[in-house]
Every structure is written in C-alpha cells, then in structure tokens.
Structure 1
Amino acid sequence: MSSSGILSAPGGEISLFPSTRVPLAVKLLGKSIEGISKNAFRLLLQLVVNAIEGRVTQDGCLDKIRRQCQIQKGQQAPDNLDELFAGLHAIVHAFLRLEPGSLKPEIFENELKDLKFSEECISDMVGVLYGPKRASFDAALLREPSTPHLPRMERMQWRVDVIISSNALSRVLEPSIQVRMTMTDGSIVYFTASISRFHQLRHAVAAALREMGHLEQKSLLKG
C-alpha cells in the first residue's frame, strides 16, 4: 500500500482504491450512479474536468445541468448531483495521482463496474482519463496549492576562483568554486565551496539520486 492509498490488486497489479480506504464520496457514488442518463453523466464529468483543470466553477452549475437535461431530451437529472460530482471528482483525482500507465484500463474498468457504472459511463471515463488530455491534467495538479513542491533551479552560473593570499597566509593558491543559482520562485542561492567540498557535494547528490531510483522501484511508493 502506498501513502496515497493505492493497493496492488491480485496478481501484483495496481488498483485505484484499497477496499479498506475507499473515500466516503466514492462509496456514496456507488449507491447513486445507477440509472443516470448518458447526457447527465457527460455534463457532470465535464464539470469535474473543468474543476481539475482549475477553471472557475460558477454557482448553480449543478442546477444548470438539471435544466439542460430537461431541455435537451426531457430527462430527469438525479437529485443528488452534488454527491455524484464529489464521487466522480474523488475517482478522477485518485486516478491522476497514479503514475501514467501504471493502472491498466481493464482493471480500471472492472473497478468502475464494481461501483455500478454503466458501460457508456465507463467508456466516457476511460476516454477522458486515458486520452490526450492527461498531460494537461498533470500540469493542473502541479499548480494546486495543496500539492507539495519545492522551487526548481531555473539558471545556474559558476566560476572557479583561486585565492592568492589571505589574512592568515601570505600565499594560498587554493582554488574554490563559486555557484549562483536562480530558482523558479525568484530566489537566488549562492555558495562557495573548496574543491574537496565540491566533490563531497557531487558524491552526496549522486548517492541521493541513486537511492531515489531504488525507492521508485518499490511498490510502496508507486502512485
């Protein structure tokens, strides 16, 4: 099981939710998704997509869906659209937390069937989540304030200086490396290191990257 609640399905495959940690919104969704019209579901799914992409959700949008269903085909939209929206949003958000390609479509479809999704609704979900919009979804999640992230290095400048003398010694001739890094948040990091210290830093970074690679291979952190 990972920190995000993803569990390996039988056979070692990745699953969307473990049975013991299914969000309440998803449990309620399974009780109310049956019988929803294709038109109402697509309007609701589009609303979820808009929310994920960070578009402004206007007040009364669910009432608008109810009216659209009645006008277009005379269909009666479910009264609990708020519960349906919350459940769909939880599913889409959990899916996007997984590494692309880690959840096989057939497993995802089976999980939706267990939640009482119709074949048409499953087809729409798969088309949206496995389609070309995945990259824009990932970019939108990175912009979320709740997504923990650190500023990245945007530009780096460096030079090698040689100290000819100091207050303590008349002749040093010891080279040092001066580094100036500009980060994506506008901050500037500046440091000076001796050649030996720089090699220690280089070794520590290489060791950290190697350890991160090992951790990524473990199922505990997948997703």
Structure 2
Amino acid sequence: MSQQLELLTENPSQWTSVSLLSPEIQKKEIKPYVVLALKELEGNPDSRTSSLMNVDKFSAVRAVVRHLARLRSANKEPWASEDVTVFLESLRFSPECVEELTSLLCLDKVYENVPKHLRVKPGLVDLQWKVDISLSQSNMSSENANASQAKEIMRRYTHIILILTLTDGQTLTYRLSINKFHELRYTVACALKNMIVLEKRKCMRKD
C-alpha cells in the first residue's frame, strides 16, 4: 500500500455513513457538489447550499472533498489518481462517480484557495531510535576513568538518536540526552492517556 493510500484510508470507521449514501449519487451531481464543498472550505459558502434537495448526498461528497483537501498538505506529491480511485471505490461510489471525482480531486489547483489552517501537518510514517555511546567511550578513554567515573560519564554523555520519517517524505533526526528522552516518553504517554480519557466522555462520542 502506498503512503498516500494509507493516509487516505487510515480511519475507515468514519466512512460508514458515506458508504451508505454513495451508491445513490449520480455523476451529474458530483461537480456541483464538489464546487459547493470547496467554497465552504474557502470561507465563501454558496447560498445554493442551503436550498439543496439532496442534503445527505451533498454531505457525503463534502466529507470526501474535505478529507482530501485537509490531507493535501501532508503529501509531498499531488494525489495519485490510482490511490484516489481505490479510496473512492472502497466508499462504494459508482464507477462513473469515481472517475468524475478522481478527475476533479487530483487537480492541485482546486486546493489553492483552501486556508492553510484547515490542512494537516505531515504525519509520522516511521520512527527509529538508537543509542549513541561514542562520546561516552571517547571521554572514558581520554580520562582513564575508573568504574565509578565511567558510570557517571555514560550517564552524562550517552545520547539517544531519534529518526522520524514523515508522510511528506521528510526525514528528521534528533539527538537527545537520556533524561530528555525519558521526558519525551513521559509526555507522549500522558498525552495518549488524556486522549483515551477524552474519547470515553459522552460529548466526544458520535451518535
């Protein structure tokens, strides 16, 4: 699976309602719905939106447009048509609608006026880490350290190298002391715990 397709399909549970409506949508409805959805994202909602006869079908297309628009900045390259096609097919759009949506949503120019704050930052694809003791070994050797001194030198000069690969193709490298590394682990663990607590609250649950 490509990185783009993985990004598009990372949260399949959110598309249940769209999959129920998508088979009913006709090709002739796609372009008007896409245009109206983009106007909303750009902060210039069209008055025609409030008078639509098929609000549910529009909502389904709007969800797809918002999804691709918000994720666009997380990609180093424009959307690949084959990945968008697979994604739309998984949502049960008809072949005609898949073709129409793909041709529209793979054009980079349709996202030009979408405010940057509505787009997401690159996601994390891979994280690797390794222990760097080269400086510790160098200091121990130069100081002819005894066992006690060697232990202190290892504590002070050992570092953790973090290598992060992002969805936009970037590779970021960070060098942390052991204390900072444990501080990072604690912060991430607390954030995950808080997310779990929030998800259990009634106000965060979808009806």
TM-score between the two structures when normalised by the length of structure 1: 0.46
Larger radius of gyration: 1
TM-score by length of 2: 0.48
The structure carrying a bigger helix percent of its residues is: 2
